[in-house]
Structure 1
Amino acid sequence: MSGSPTIVLVHGAFADAASWAPVTKLLLDQGHRVLVPPVSNRSLSGDAAYIRSFVEQIDGPVLLAGHSYGGAVITVAGVAENVVGLVFVAAYALEEGESLGTLQGGFPDSDLAAALVYAPYPVDGAEPGTDVSVAIDAFPAVFAGGLAPEVATVLAVSQRPLSAVAFGEPASVAAWKTKPSWGIVSSADHTINPDVERFGYQRAGVRTVTEIDAPHLVMQTHPAEVAGVITDAVAELS
């Protein structure tokens, strides 16, 4: 498998594909092929299966980049044969058999834990599920720090919840065991404890860990730095 990889950007919880917009534009302007699929945030296995299917329909090699919960998704989906590398961006890099809750449980809570709200959603033929989102009044400080207040407010009322199922579901595989990876730590993160990011990357043996003094939405506040890590990975893989 040769040639420059297609870059697939995977968003996380409480956000959507637009969270990648500043980085997406930079990469497109540089001539890269970029795709940013939606993630339903319903279950780790289901979300990873969708992203894997999406990737497998791409002709040629793929570099997966995942933000936040998207890191857990690419950890599983990244075993697709045409995936040649993984970039974790303020993300969870899970071990096989490990869940988000288990990994987080080994470290002090971030500010997110006290800001979560829960609401039921219907499930066909089964008991209602539970949606988890960030309290609207807490969202700007906890999740969207560093953004203009008017932007953070809009994001707060348009967030995509994560099903509670996804928090406790273990990763069925860890693609970083067989695929080269890179990691970005948001050192001013209030959504994920930065030590959770550092630990996961160290355990995964990522080639490079880049520390950025940034909040959780580092793709929005520091797009050039994030794009730089991704393009450095592309250069190594091409």
Structure 2
Amino acid sequence: MPNPTPTVVLVHGAFADAASWSGVVADLKRDGIPVLAPPNPLRGLAADAAYIASLVAQIDGPVVLVGHSYGGALITVAGVAENVVGLVYVAAYVLEEGESLGELQGRFPASPLVSNLKQWTYPVADGEAAVEVTIAEDAFPAIFAADVPAETTTVLAAAQRPLAAGVFEEKATAAAWRTTPSWAVIAGADRAIDPEVERFGATRAGATVVEVDGASHAIALSRPKEVAEVIRTAVRAAG
């Protein structure tokens, strides 16, 4: 009896929401592949990974975890769940166990994103204020979504979901790619994460790498068919 088709769980990254996967979801569902695109809390590496791991544990059958950008760090940690059979990194950070986002990024020159972050504050449980960041609206199109129509990037810039700044210092408590097959999509014209950062992490993880020339960081939105095809490959490999 064949194995059930894995459920694809799409984890978005910072400055975006689950709607950024809309084209990928539609493409996969046309093939009858079950898909979930949950909200990413964007509050902390350990907490966000625990949320994704909890969701995965409640899914019957195998799961292929897909992470975009910061979401790649989350699937690296949450992917140790027993029913995860594949990992797909999309223009993503691929961490090693014990490594932080800041440490991985620090191996390479800073991308234009770093100098165009806007700081905000939000209250936390102890009554203190924590810092979160978004991309400056005027810089957002060129940095995040240069190959997306201008009328769309205007909306995306206004609707950004901020990322807690503390995530850059938290260390990954696991590296699921050590025991789980992985694939990686490199956005060749990414200005949010240097493509070299994406290549380094993917190569270190032994991932099967697909490069998409000219693609921006918003590759799931601008090139959904290419992204969906890599995910389908991971689903077939697990089937």
Please, what TM-score do these two structures have when normalized by structure 1?
0.98
Q: Which residue of 2 aligns with 1:118?
A: 119
The question of 1:192 aligning with 2:193 is answered yes
Residue 151 of structure 2 aligns to a residue whose secondary structure is helix
Between the aligned partners of 1:45 and 1:183, the Cα distance in structure 2 is 22
The question of 1:81 aligning with 2:87 is answered no
Matches within 5 A, 1:55-134: 55-134=56-135
Residue 111 of structure 1 aligns to a residue whose secondary structure is coil
What is the CA-CA distance between 1:236 and the residue it aligns to? 1.0
Between the aligned partners of 1:180 and 1:235, the Cα distance in structure 2 is 12
Q: Which residue of 2 aligns with 1:165?
A: 166
The question of 1:210 aligning with 2:207 is answered no
The question of 1:229 aligning with 2:230 is answered yes
* Counterpart code for 2:12: H
Between the aligned partners of 2:158 and 2:145, the Cα distance in structure 1 is 12
Between the aligned partners of 2:91 and 2:180, the Cα distance in structure 1 is 19
Between the aligned partners of 1:140 and 1:188, the Cα distance in structure 2 is 13
Between the aligned partners of 1:138 and 1:58, the Cα distance in structure 2 is 39
Between the aligned partners of 2:220 and 2:202, the Cα distance in structure 1 is 18
What is the CA-CA distance between 1:221 and the residue it aligns to? 1.1
Q: Deviations over 1:4-48 (max 9, x none)?
A: 100000000000000111101111111110000001100000000
* Counterpart code for 2:234: A
Between the aligned partners of 1:236 and 1:57, the Cα distance in structure 2 is 22
* Counterpart code for 1:133: T
Q: Which residue of 1 aligns with 2:36?
A: 35
* Counterpart code for 1:190: R
What is the CA-CA distance between 1:123 and the residue it aligns to? 0.7
Superposed CA RMSD: 0.9
What is the CA-CA distance between 1:99 and the residue it aligns to? 0.8
Residue 200 of structure 1 aligns to a residue whose secondary structure is helix
> Where in structure 1 do 4 or more consecutive aligned residues deviate above 2 Å?
none
Residue 133 of structure 1 aligns to a residue whose secondary structure is strand
Unaligned runs of 5+ in 2: none
What is the CA-CA distance between 1:61 and the residue it aligns to? 0.3
What is the CA-CA distance between 1:124 and the residue it aligns to? 2.0
Between the aligned partners of 1:111 and 1:125, the Cα distance in structure 2 is 34
In the alignment of these two chains, the number of paired residues is 237
Between the aligned partners of 2:14 and 2:168, the Cα distance in structure 1 is 11
Moved more, 48-57 or 125-134: 125-134
Q: Which residue of 2 aligns with 1:20?
A: 21
Residue 25 of structure 1 aligns to a residue whose secondary structure is helix
Unaligned runs of 5+ in 1: none
Q: Deviations over 1:146-188 (max 9, x none)?
A: 1111100100010001001111111011100111100010010
Between the aligned partners of 1:198 and 1:136, the Cα distance in structure 2 is 28
* Counterpart code for 2:89: F
Between the aligned partners of 1:111 and 1:176, the Cα distance in structure 2 is 28
